[in-house]
Structure 1
Amino acid sequence: MKVIKRDGSTADFDSSKIIVAIQKANQVVEPEDRIEQERIEAIAHYVESKNRMRLLVEDIQDMVEHQLMDEGKFNLAKSYIIYRYTRALVRKANTTDESILSLIRNSNKDVMEENSNKNAVMASTQRDLIAGEVSKDLTRRLILPEKISKAHDEGAIHFHDADYFVQPIFNCCLINVGDMLDNGTV
Structure 2
Amino acid sequence: MPSATEHTHHLRIRNTQLEMKSSSGNSSGEDVDGKLRLAQTQLEELQAQREELERLKTETEQLNTRKRELIGSQVEMSERLASAMTLIDRELFEMKQEIDDLEQCRSCFAGHLSKIEKLNPESWTREQLPDRLDRALAIVDHAEDEYSQAAEHFSRTRSASIFQGVRRAKSSSNSEFRQQLFRGFAFNLPIIALGGLALIAYLCK
Give me the TM-score of the superposition, normalised by structure 2.
0.24
* Structure with larger RCO (C-alpha < 8 A, sep 6+): 1
Q: Which has the larger radius of gyration?
A: 2
Q: Which has the higher strand share?
A: 1
Q: Which has the higher helix share?
A: 2
